[in-house]
Amino acid sequence: MLQLQQIQQARTTITPTLWPTPIILDHLLSDRLGRRVWLKGELFQRTGSFKSRGGLNWLRTASADELAGGLGAVSAGNHALGLAWAAQAVGVAVTIVMPDNASPFKVEGTRRLGAEVILHGDINEAWALMHRLVEQRGLTLVHPYDDERIIAGQGTVGLEILDQVPEARAIVCPVGGGGLVSGVSVAVATRQPSLEVIGVEPEGAASMAHAWTHGAPTRLERVDTCAKSLAAAIVGDFTYPLCRAGVTTLARVDETAIHRAMQHLLYHAKLMAEPGAAVGVACLLEDAAALPPTGDIVVVITGGNLGREELGGFL
């Protein structure tokens, strides 16, 4: 199991390049809940999401053998951007397979960073192609969430929250494959064990809840959500037990709630976040999870990578 010291080491590894992201008070949500609600602005991180943390930690701890044949990954977009950015600095080739419905904004951004991007099928078909490419090309697979170095990098978000909001009693965190929420839960468990970690999934891609129900990672036959960055069909062998151990509650929000949260972030919080980053706010707006009775709440706003056409659907 991932340990706190691995996350602390990841923080040491990435901090010279990646600065802590800001904490912003959400006045409207604070008034609604009668306590301070803070938004952790990971959309301001390099490449527009928290994913650069894990990508940089992975690259800086990789062996020469792991890098020699180039890297491969499957991504809805943010992992692709983070990994391509980190790899570009050391001149390592990256091949990314994205689903056909991936955000054009993320596809073009990843290509601008020098990665080869292949669009292929749905998320399950994208994974099947990547496994073939790993065999054919000798690529090293960098999993978007089920890798301890990736999870440790994402967990640095949790360490920053503890420093920035010492009175926090709950962290509300989007869940896709579980890498971020796993890292955050490990980061806070030792230093502040009473702090609750609430994971939030879109109803159309509730892969962690599906795993909890079945007692193990179990693939969804279909994912369907506007929150594409959370559209993992199956959670990981690392992330599943970490979430079971460290996540207090799993909540789900529907598409209408995500749309409402997007409008809240745009018009009230003044943040141009992406749909996957809005599910935590949706959870609070819909009262989808029980909160601790007192104390500050921190909602992780995971990313802000969306183009004009995508944004138009939420205005």
Query: Shortest CA distance to 229 belongs to which of 83, 120, 125, 74?
Result: 74
Structure tokens at 73: 């990954």
Per DSSP, helices labelled H in 1-103 are 4-14, 27-33, 51-60, 64-68, 78-88
Same CATH topology for 4-50+147-312 and 52-141: the answer is: yes
Q: Environment class of residue 31 by beta-carbon count within 10 Å: exposed (0-12), middle (13-18) or buried (19+)? A: exposed
Domain spanning 4-50+147-312, CATH architecture? 3-Layer(aba) Sandwich (3.40)
**Long-range Cβ contact pairs of 224-228 (< 8 A, separation 24 or more):** 225/255, 225/258, 225/275, 226/202, 226/255, 226/258, 226/259, 226/275, 226/313, 227/174, 227/202, 227/258, 227/274, 227/275, 227/276, 227/278, 227/279, 228/76, 228/77, 228/101, 228/102, 228/103, 228/275, 228/276
Residue 113 contacts residue 85 (beta carbons within 8 Å): yes
Domain spans, the chain: 4-50+147-312, 52-141
User: Strands (DSSP E) along 145-248, which ranges?
Assistant: 168-174, 196-202
Distances (CA, A) of 193 to 83, 186, 196, 306: 31, 10, 8, 35
Give pLDDT tens digits for 195-252: 999 999 999 999 999 999 999 999 998 899 999 999 999 999 999 999 999 999 999 9
User: Residues 294, 181, 196, CA angle at the centre, nearest 5°?
Assistant: 20
What DSSP assignment string belongs to 108-142?
HHHHHTT-EEEE-SSHHHHHHHHHHHHHHH-PEE-
At 115, the pLDDT band (50, 70, 90 cuts) reads very high
Class of domain 52-141: alpha beta
- In angstroms, the CA 305 to CA 315 distance is 16
Q: What b/e readout covers 8-18, taking b as 16+ CB neighbours within 10 angstroms?
A: ebbbebbeeeb
Range with lowest mean pLDDT among 45-59, 93-107, 157-171, 301-315: 301-315
Residue 71 contacts residue 93 (beta carbons within 8 Å): yes
Residue 114 contacts residue 94 (beta carbons within 8 Å): yes
pLDDT at 174: 98
The single-letter code of the amino acid at 247 is: V
pTM: 0.96
Q: Is residue 255 pLDDT above 90, yes or no?
A: yes
When pLDDT is averaged across residues 25-30 and rounded to a whole number, the result is 98
Question: Coil, strand, or helix at residue 199?
Answer: strand
Structure tokens at 166: 């010492």
pLDDT at 187: 97
When pLDDT is averaged across residues 255-271 and rounded to a whole number, the result is 97
pLDDT at 168: 97
pLDDT at 214: 96
When pLDDT is averaged across residues 263-292 and rounded to a whole number, the result is 97
Percentage, residues of the chain above pLDDT 70: 100
pLDDT at 312: 83
